[in-house]
Amino acid sequence: MSSILTNNSAMVALQTLKSINSDLSTTQSEISTGKTVSSAKDNSAVWAISKVMESDVEGFNAISDSLSLGEASVAVARNASESITDLLTDMKGKIVAAQEDNVDRGKINDDVTALKDQIASVVSAAQFNGLNLVDGSTASTDVLSSLDRDASGNVSSSSITVAAQNLSTGGYTAKAAFTGSDGVAADSADSFGFSLDGTGGTDDVGSVVIADPTYAAGDKITLTVGESEVSYTVTADDVASSTTEDLVAIGLKTAIEASGEDVTVDYDSATPGALEITNTGAGSLSVSGQFTNANAGGLGALDSIDVSSAAGAEAALGTIETLIDTAIDASASFGSVEGRIETQSDFISGLTDSLKSGIGSMVDADMEEVSARLQALQTQQQLGVQSLSIANQAPSTLLSLFR
């Protein structure tokens, strides 16, 4: 039965064309984005999983950077310890030569002293981004190495601990507290300091207390006052005195006054080892300090080596063997942890690639399949338009019945 009110053929053709157009729109979206799941409405479950994995990939990229930084820091320390091992080996040769009676031990001792200075230079320079693993200023450092996600979705981080190796001739300790008159106390860690604001108010005066009952000859106190670094090395006479703290404070006072900074320094006789620093300049002034304990480092015995005499040369021979073993052990320790960091870095790189591949298999479009489907849908669309056109012409044929 034909009807001029209801055109069933046109409605079927229209619904078919709508379906084809919808599929064609989806296909074109896949072509433009390269993804079958580009938003949560496409497939909420797959989209949610892919987003979690993408966040993990970003986290692992940051971990890869952390591992690179850690590996570089350890590599610097390993190179330094290997260089120190070589220098100590050279020094051993000098010490062995000094065992002979018919030699100029004074000249040999000068060479040994030069090697000592070079070792100290290597130790001081062996830092990466401010971290020095061989000067005794830190016990260890943690290198972020992984993100761990459990079955419940909880995430935790893990690290590789790098043990520092003290190859210095002195150890660092915070034996004094620096406090400004404004009550700003210092950090109780390995370094400490305070600032004098230079505004002319009450905050431009600060006290430095450097009292310590266990001073030893060779201990060194270093202060940084503004742009100047001053120091005082404790002598055997200072240690023998009953007023060691006062002698050290007076020595530092002299050094500060000779630095040229805009400050005045007064010795507070009421408090042993106390100095009062007044900022007389227009700007603020920062003061910080550090103690270096003689013979407290891993190579502390290096300072005792003196081959200018037969007895000293004989004693030095046993000392140098111990020092070489210490440097070798440090090199081996750094080499081991550097290898572990490198292995972890390779693993993180491979893991990141695997995660990216997994994400791609879930959400990426198969472009060959999409291309074939696009061709088919375009053909179907053309046929659908023609079918709808034919269906819309059907009622007009009924006019011929009434002619």
pTM above 0.85, yes or no: no
Tens-binned pLDDT, residue by residue, of the chain (403 aa): 677 777 888 888 889 889 888 888 888 888 887 888 877 888 889 888 888 888 889 999 999 999 999 999 999 999 999 999 999 999 999 999 999 888 899 999 999 999 999 998 999 899 999 899 998 878 889 999 998 888 787 888 899 999 999 898 776 554 444 444 444 433 333 334 445 554 444 456 666 666 655 777 777 788 888 888 888 888 888 888 888 888 888 888 899 889 888 888 887 777 777 788 887 877 777 777 777 776 667 888 887 888 999 988 998 998 899 999 999 999 999 999 999 999 999 999 999 999 999 988 888 888 888 888 888 888 888 888 888 888 888 777 777 777 6
Q: Where in the chain is the domain with CATH 1.20.1330.10?
A: 48-169+300-356
Helices then strands, counting H and E runs in the chain, come out as 7, 13
Contact between 70 and 341 (Cβ < 8 Å) = yes
| Cβ atoms within 10 Å, residue 336 | 12
Contact between 204 and 198 (Cβ < 8 Å) = yes
Top-tier CATH class for 48-169+300-356: mainly alpha
119 closest CA partner among 89, 93, 161, 94: 89
Contact between 190 and 172 (Cβ < 8 Å) = yes
Contact between 134 and 80 (Cβ < 8 Å) = yes
181 closest CA partner among 275, 289, 281: 275
359 closest CA partner among 21, 3, 11, 53: 53
Distance CA 268, CA 276 (A): 7
Distance CA 26, CA 40 (A): 14
